[in-house]
Amino acid sequence: MQGLSPILASLGALDETSLDFEPGANPGRVSIVHGGTADVVIDDHGEERSVTCQFATALNLSPVAGDWVSTRGDYVVAVTRRRTALTRPAATGRDAQVLAANLDLVLVVMPMDRDLNTVMLERLAVMAYDSGARPVVVLTKSDSADIVGALVAEAETAVPGVSVMTTSSLSGHGIEDLSGLLHAGVTAVMLGASGAGKTSLLNALEGTNEETRSLGRSGEGRHATTTRRLYRLRSGGVLLDIPGIRLLDLMIGQEGLEEAFADVVEIGEDCRFADCSHDGDDGCAVEAAVRAGTLAARRLESWRSIQTEMLERERRRDADLAARRRRSRSPRDRSARDHDDEG
């Protein structure tokens, strides 16, 4: 910590030397990205400034919220290698779009004023594990739930091994415990669907007054977060607030799947075949566990569903790659191939 800039420390840095900033450039952290520009909090020779920067032509990465960057004048000239990255599919549904970078915690925010969406919870946990950060489930609106204990138990069953916390932005329940996780040097992001209570949770944590929309007829609050922002909390940590996501937005990876479904993976080690698909294969220990009641059938169904989606995405990606290769062949290559065919 010796020699660490107080400005960078307040932005979540623990060790300036590991961030590998460009010599002579002003170091900083991205708070918001607006298309081809980014708002960056920089350390300008010991003075904190917030600047809007364009991206240098030869920039190594496209910056996102949470990135550590080097700036010169009004330009981001380099993006430091990311420790962790939260992603979702791009508009094509095939490539990955990075939502936020350099995270330590992913707060999976789920409301308790309605039935718990365990499918969404499982998918968000996979997405969190894939980022490389630690997932924590935060159940909001505990003041609206009559069966808090049952919902907590349901969440713990859906994501074994992940800490589950309950909070209420109205009563303040659980806010102090959550603040304790967000200490100096910790960067967190809130991940959840619109209406989960993320903006209200931010207001409770920081005493801010971020805009929220009025309640709908159903009583469901809809927050108005439309861009990614970085908040320095009173507890010392940094919190990124990003727009609510949908199930269609989720990026699923094999590593995250194995961590989120560690119970299925562990049981699967006893399957007769190492490549068991857990779907009718002879000697499947996972299906046997479902029949014996030691593994919930819903867990296996979810695992199968996610595996199917992963295989389909991989198939589309391979098809796209093959199409690009065909398009990239030169006319001379195609002519030579046609000539060989005629011969």
**Domain coordinates in residue numbering, the chain:** 6-79, 85-249, 261-325
d(CA 261, CA 122): 9
Range of weakest confidence among 47-51, 199-203, 304-308: 304-308
CB count within 10 Å of CB 82 equals 18
d(CA 129, CA 37): 29
Contact indicator for 142, 148 with CB cutoff of 8 Å: yes
Helices (runs of H) and strands (runs of E) counted in the chain: 10, 13
Greater confidence, 59 or 305?
Answer: 59
Answer whether 0.95 is exceeded by the pTM.
no
Greater confidence, 307 or 102?
Answer: 102
pLDDT of res. 301: 83
**Strand bridging mode 105-111 / 134-140:** parallel
Return the CATH superfamily for domain 85-249.
P-loop containing nucleotide triphosphate hydrolases (3.40.50.300)
Portion of the chain with pLDDT greater than 90, in percent: 38
CA atoms within 13 A on the CB side of 77: 13
What dotted CATH number matches 261-325? 1.10.40.50
**DSSP letters spanning 50-101:** EEEEEEPTT-SS---BT-EEEEETTEEEEEPPPS-EEEEE-TTSSSEEEEEE
Taking alpha carbons only, the member of 205, 210, 207 closest to residue 225 is 210
Per-residue model confidence as pLDDT tens digits over 301-321 = 888 887 777 777 667 666 666
CATH 2.40.160.40 fits 6-79, yes or no: no
Contact indicator for 89, 252 with CB cutoff of 8 Å: no
Assess whether pLDDT exceeds 50 at residue 190. yes
Please give the structure tokens belonging to residue 300. Answer: 């296996």
d(CA 318, CA 211): 43
Mean pLDDT of the region 65-92: 89
Per-residue model confidence as pLDDT tens digits over 3-44 = 689 999 999 998 877 888 999 999 999 998 988 899 999 999
**DSSP letters spanning 114-149:** S---HHHHHHHHHHHHHHTSEEEEEEE-GGG-S-HH
Greater confidence, 194 or 131?
Answer: 131
